[in-house]
């Protein structure tokens, strides 16, 4: 606006000329503020990107973990073969012999985004590799999220809160954990899409404008295309609308915003093959539909109210209509459920509402560490002071209730609940926590500074009079206020800055130490303090890629499936897309059977190589022996031949001499410990001392009859065995 002011008639040159600099400062406070805000935002934007590059600095520009490898592989396919090929891709390299229809079983948002960025860069004549684009997609979107956080904060509170929110979310460890460079996963873009959709929706509710709600529908579409977490949006927004209706905040703005967003968003979402008609057929999406109809009833009632001037008549009409509407709604839902048209809630959804559900019913979900309930320490680790500021922010929100603050309060509370149910949902809570904390910080600091500035200004004005005799009157002015108020304010301000700087330090430390590891390459401190790199995963995958027949089938536990197909370029039996529990259970059964039984299973699956992860030599604890109980459990869930107690001794899981005989002779044990009995791992310990579990193994004399060792990596972390062809029968 300041710029516009210049276009107006120029004020005549001041007769008494004040110093020009001062005039500049005085004249353009607005512009100055804009400049500072823009500069701060730009710095935050860069910071959010830069802090996520720790992983590249510490390791290299590579794809991290498990799922990102699948995303990378599909993106590669997309850029090489085009969108239609990608959409119709039947992947025969995974889930052998079943295969997987990739186009219909994935959220394409991430891959399409990366491919578009890649195309754009290529168009601008930047010859980048698609891997670099994939590696940097998550930081790029994290940067964009800070912008959205700024605008969101501005919408619900003020520009200051927006800036603080942007700064907080830029370095919040809860968000960084899933968006470091290389973490090429759906969440990377989905959090941006989630916050953007929310922002646009709140904007639509605040303005009642069709264009904003249209934008939020498209935001929702992008979210649906990117991540399964869109279910959170499609349940939170109806819940929010319901709360507004109940608290008597119904307005035409809300009506326009919700209806447009829901109808258009739903139709757009149906374009994603993986989602399909779930919006009208699945139980998880029914709340949105119910609220949609409720809105129509509300609108109708308002209209009737306007027509009827008789309150009594209206009351009875209201009763009848409401009863009818609710009755019809429940009836429709009941019929839908009974006829199977509307599917009941899925296990994953149940496990969110009831944290104990997965443990009893879906071991495959419970077996994933990121699906465990959250510990207090990880809350503290991921949020640090935000955890304390969160309630304070809630207080400020309640103090100034508006449609927007109600939304952020609801988003904060629900996501906090989900975050405590599942570790990985801390990610969803992070933006809300940052926004609410930002309100707390911004409001507090604003109050404090106004307090201080008032005082200092009074003092300044007085002192500028410079006549010594005025001291008394100035003193009198000061004495009118509370004692020590100013000092107290300064002390609190200093404390706040101390806390914020601690937060910044904590975030940097967490990012560099905890969240930047690609988990493919392991790093440890050597005996002399030097950095030791264990690159065994890639060693093994590259060996598979180079030195096995191109059509070889590799059997491993499902965790490594995506990596083997992406890096090893070989067919796998099961992978991280755990869509077929029976198939996984078959692999689990093979791993927990005796060798000759397992051989039959492997023959039936055409397995050529078996890959196991073993950490006994290096002390790497997330290996297959530690995951073995889940294999038994999942295998036993489908094939009752496998009984968990057979592998336990007095309910205890052990691998030493006291282990159960079945345990000592099952395939997984044999493959992990084959010839390990001859190795001295630690000085002063007997041979075959397992450093990951701290015991001497129980079966040192392992003979393999149907398999032979094909390759073991330099630190023994990955061991690959070749399945021998069947013996000749004559």
Find out whether 444 and 392 touch, Cβ atoms under 8 Å. Answer: yes
Find out whether 517 and 523 touch, Cβ atoms under 8 Å. Answer: yes
User: Of these, 2, 329, 336, 355, which contacts other proteins (CB under 8 A)?
Assistant: 2
Give the ranges where 275-425 is alpha helix by DSSP (H): 278-281, 286-307, 311-339, 347-353, 357-361, 363-366, 376-383, 386-399, 403-421
User: Of these, 208, 679, 685, 700, which contacts other proteins (CB under 8 A)?
Assistant: 679
CB of 125 to other proteins, least distance (A): 5
Nearer to other proteins, 27 or 333 (CB): 27
User: Of these, 251, 319, 447, 461, which contacts other proteins (CB under 8 A)?
Assistant: 461
CB of 639 to other proteins, least distance (A): 30
Nearer to other proteins, 6 or 354 (CB): 6
The closest of 510, 491, 497, 493 to 384, measured between CA atoms, is: 510
Nearer to other proteins, 5 or 335 (CB): 5
What DSSP state is assigned to residue 343?
B
CB of 678 to other proteins, least distance (A): 6
* Token pair recorded at residue 75: 């993106």
3-state secondary structure at position 717 = coil
Find out whether 574 and 587 touch, Cβ atoms under 8 Å. Answer: yes
Q: Does 18 participate in binding other proteins (rule CB under 8 A)?
A: yes
CB of 412 to other proteins, least distance (A): 28
Angle, to 10 degrees, between the axis of helix 130-156 and the axis of helix 109-123? 110
* Token pair recorded at residue 402: 């508006």
Nearer to other proteins, 160 or 229 (CB): 160
Nearer to other proteins, 369 or 687 (CB): 687
Residues numbered 529 to 568 that lie near other proteins (CB under 8 A) are: 533, 535, 538-539, 541-543, 545-547, 567
* Token pair recorded at residue 61: 């520009």
Q: Does 722 participate in binding other proteins (rule CB under 8 A)?
A: yes
CB of 179 to other proteins, least distance (A): 20
Residue range at the interface with other proteins (CB under 8 A); choices 110-118, 400-408, 460-468, 571-579: 460-468
3-state secondary structure at position 533 = strand
Q: Does 267 participate in binding other proteins (rule CB under 8 A)?
A: no
Separation of alpha carbons 425 and 444, rounded Å: 29
Residue range at the interface with other proteins (CB under 8 A); choices 164-172, 455-463, 607-615, 624-632: 455-463
CB of 201 to other proteins, least distance (A): 22
Q: Does 725 participate in binding other proteins (rule CB under 8 A)?
A: no
Q: Does 654 participate in binding other proteins (rule CB under 8 A)?
A: no
CB of 547 to other proteins, least distance (A): 5
CB of 458 to other proteins, least distance (A): 7
Residues numbered 61 to 90 that lie near other proteins (CB under 8 A) are: 62
CB of 63 to other proteins, least distance (A): 9
Cα separation values, 20 from 13, 267, 343, 389, Å? 11, 59, 72, 43
Nearer to other proteins, 203 or 424 (CB): 203
Nearer to other proteins, 151 or 537 (CB): 537
Count interface residues toward other proteins (CB under 8 A): 58
User: Of these, 310, 479, 652, 678, which contacts other proteins (CB under 8 A)?
Assistant: 678
Q: Using CB atoms within 10 A of its CB, is residue 476 exposed (0-12), middle (13-18) or buried (19+)?
A: exposed
CB of 542 to other proteins, least distance (A): 5
According to DSSP, the residues that pair with 709 across neighbouring strands are 721
The closest of 582, 606, 624, 721 to 92, measured between CA atoms, is: 606
Separation of alpha carbons 339 and 692, rounded Å: 53
Nearer to other proteins, 589 or 719 (CB): 719
User: Of these, 457, 471, 475, 596, which contacts other proteins (CB under 8 A)?
Assistant: 457
User: Of these, 7, 480, 650, 728, which contacts other proteins (CB under 8 A)?
Assistant: 7
First to last CA, the chain: 94
CB of 519 to other proteins, least distance (A): 13
- Per-residue binding letters, 698-717, with other proteins (x by CB under 8 A): ----------xxxxxxx-x-
The residue ranges of DSSP E strands in 407-566, in sequence order, are: 522-525, 531-534, 553-555
Separation of alpha carbons 289 and 256, rounded Å: 15
Separation of alpha carbons 655 and 663, rounded Å: 7
Neighbours of 604 (CB within 10 A): 11
User: Of these, 465, 471, 502, 657, which contacts other proteins (CB under 8 A)?
Assistant: 465
* Token pair recorded at residue 258: 């919700």
Secondary element (H or E) of residue 609: strand 609-613
The closest of 63, 60, 89, 61 to 74, measured between CA atoms, is: 89
Residues numbered 481 to 540 that lie near other proteins (CB under 8 A) are: 520-521, 533, 535, 538-539
- Per-residue binding letters, 156-195, with other proteins (x by CB under 8 A): ----------------------------------------
Find out whether 237 and 254 touch, Cβ atoms under 8 Å. Answer: no
**What residues contact 185, with CB distance under 8 A and at least 6 apart?**
65, 67, 68, 71, 110, 138, 178
- Per-residue binding letters, 20-49, with other proteins (x by CB under 8 A): ------xx-xx-------------------
CB of 38 to other proteins, least distance (A): 12
CB of 189 to other proteins, least distance (A): 23
Neighbours of 356 (CB within 10 A): 10
Long-range contacts of 346-350 (CB under 8 A, 24+ apart): 346/282, 346/284, 349/231, 349/283, 349/284
3-state secondary structure at position 43 = helix
User: Of these, 309, 311, 377, 467, which contacts other proteins (CB under 8 A)?
Assistant: 467
Nearer to other proteins, 539 or 646 (CB): 539
**What residues contact 48, with CB distance under 8 A and at least 6 apart?**
139, 142, 143, 145, 146, 169, 170, 171
According to DSSP, the residues that pair with 343 across neighbouring strands are 282
* Token pair recorded at residue 203: 């904007």
Residue range at the interface with other proteins (CB under 8 A); choices 264-272, 298-306, 462-470, 480-488: 462-470
CB of 708 to other proteins, least distance (A): 4
Nearer to other proteins, 13 or 483 (CB): 13
Cα separation values, 91 from 63, 88, 548, Å? 21, 9, 20
Nearer to other proteins, 126 or 395 (CB): 126
User: Of these, 249, 361, 627, 675, which contacts other proteins (CB under 8 A)?
Assistant: 675
Separation of alpha carbons 655 and 700, rounded Å: 11
Separation of alpha carbons 690 and 679, rounded Å: 10
- Per-residue binding letters, 96-135, with other proteins (x by CB under 8 A): -----------------------------xxx--------
CB of 183 to other proteins, least distance (A): 15
Residue whose token pair is 């060792």: 709
Nearer to other proteins, 87 or 126 (CB): 126
Q: Does 417 participate in binding other proteins (rule CB under 8 A)?
A: no
Q: Name the site residues for other proteins (rule: CB under 8 A).
A: 1-5, 7-9, 11-12, 14-16, 18, 26-27, 29-30, 60, 62, 125-127, 457-458, 461-462, 465-467, 469-470, 473, 520-521, 533, 535, 538-539, 541-543, 545-547, 567, 675, 678-679, 708-714, 716, 722
């Amino acid at each position: 606006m300041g710029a516009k002011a210049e276009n107006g008639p120029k004020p005549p040159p001041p007769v008494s000329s004040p110093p020009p600099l001062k005039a500049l400062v005085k004249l353009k406070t607005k512009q100055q503020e804009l400049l500072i805000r823009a500069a701060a935002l730009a710095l935050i934007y860069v910071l959010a990107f830069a802090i996520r590059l720790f992983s590249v600095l510490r390791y290299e520009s590579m794809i991290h973990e498990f799922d990102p490898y699948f995303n990378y592989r599909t993106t590669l396919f997309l850029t090489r073969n085009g969108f239609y090929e990608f959409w119709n891709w039947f992947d025969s390299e995974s889930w052998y012999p079943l295969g997987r229809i990739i186009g219909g079983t994935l959220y394409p948002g991430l891959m399409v985004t990366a491919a578009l960025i890649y195309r754009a860069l290529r168009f601008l004549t930047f010859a980048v590799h698609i891997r670099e684009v994939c590696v940097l997609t998550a930081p790029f979107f994290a940067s964009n999220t800070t912008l959205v956080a700024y605008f969101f904060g501005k919408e619900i509170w003020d520009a200051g809160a927006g800036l603080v929110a942007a700064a907080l979310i830029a370095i919040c460890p809860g968000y960084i954990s899933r968006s470091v460079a290389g973490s090429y996963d759906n969440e990377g873009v989905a959090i941006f899409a989630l916050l953007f959709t929310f922002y646009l929706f709140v904007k639509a509710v605040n303005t009642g404008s069709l264009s904003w709600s249209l934008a939020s529908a498209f935001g929702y579409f992008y979210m649906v295309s990117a991540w399964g977490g869109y279910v959170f949006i499609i349940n939170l927004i109806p819940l929010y609308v319901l709360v507004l209706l109940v608290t008597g905040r119904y307005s035409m703005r809300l009506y326009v915003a919700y209806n447009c967003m829901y109808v258009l968003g739903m139709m757009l979402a149906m374009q994603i093959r993986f989602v399909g008609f779930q919006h009208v057929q699945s139980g998880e999406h029914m709340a949105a539909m119910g609220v949609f109809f409720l809105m129509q009833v509300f609108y109708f009632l308002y209209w009737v109210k306007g027509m009827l001037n008789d309150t009594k008549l209206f009351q009875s009409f209201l009763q009848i209509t409401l009863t009818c509407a609710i009755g019809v709604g429940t009836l429709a839902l009941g019929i839908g459920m009974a006829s199977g048209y509307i599917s009941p809630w899925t296990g994953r959804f149940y496990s969110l509402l009831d944290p104990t559900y997965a443990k009893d019913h879906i071991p495959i979900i419970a077996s994933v560490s990121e699906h465990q309930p959250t510990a207090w320490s990880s809350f503290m680790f991921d949020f640090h002071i935000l955890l304390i500021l969160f309630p304070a922010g809630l207080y400020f929100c309640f103090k100034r209730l508006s449609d927007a603050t109600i939304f952020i309060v609801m988003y904060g509370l629900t996501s906090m609940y989900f975050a405590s149910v599942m570790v990985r949902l801390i990610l969803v809570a992070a933006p809300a926590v940052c926004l609410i904390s930002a309100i707390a910080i911004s409001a507090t600091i604003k109050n404090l500074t106004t307090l201080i500035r008032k005082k200092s200004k009074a003092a300044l004005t007085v002192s500028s009079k410079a006549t010594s005799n005025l001291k008394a009157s100035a003193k009198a002015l000061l004495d009118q206020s509370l004692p020590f108020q100013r000092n107290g304010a300064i002390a609190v301000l200093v404390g706040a800055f101390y806390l914020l700087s601690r937060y910044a330090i904590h975030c940097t430390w967490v990012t560099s130490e905890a969240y930047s590891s690609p988990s493919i390459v392991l790093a440890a401190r050597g005996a002399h303090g030097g950095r030791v790199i264990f690159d065994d995963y890639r060693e093994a995958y590259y060996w598979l890629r180079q030195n096995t027949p191109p059509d070889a089938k590799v059997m491993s536990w499902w965790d490594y499936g995506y990596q083997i197909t992406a890096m090893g370029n070989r067919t796998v039996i099961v992978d991280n897309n755990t869509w077929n529990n029976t198939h996984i259970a078959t692999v689990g059964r093979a791993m927990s059977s005796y060798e000759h039984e397992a051989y039959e299973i492997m023959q039936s699956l055409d397995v050529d190589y078996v890959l196991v992860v073993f950490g006994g030599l290096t002390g790497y604890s997330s290996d297959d022996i530690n995951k073995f109980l889940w294999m038994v459990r999942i295998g036993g869930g489908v094939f009752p031949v496998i009984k968990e107690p057979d592998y336990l001794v007095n309910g205890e899981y052990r691998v030493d001499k006291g282990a159960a005989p079945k345990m000592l002779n099952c395939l997984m044990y044999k493959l992990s410990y084959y010839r390990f009995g001859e190795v001295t791992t630690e000085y002063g310990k007997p041979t075959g001392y397992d450093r990951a579990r701290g015991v001497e193994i129980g079966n040192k004399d392992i003979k393999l009859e149907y398999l032979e060792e094909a390759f073991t990596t330099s630190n023994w972390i990955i061991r690959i065995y070749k399945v021998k062809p069947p013996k000749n029968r004559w």
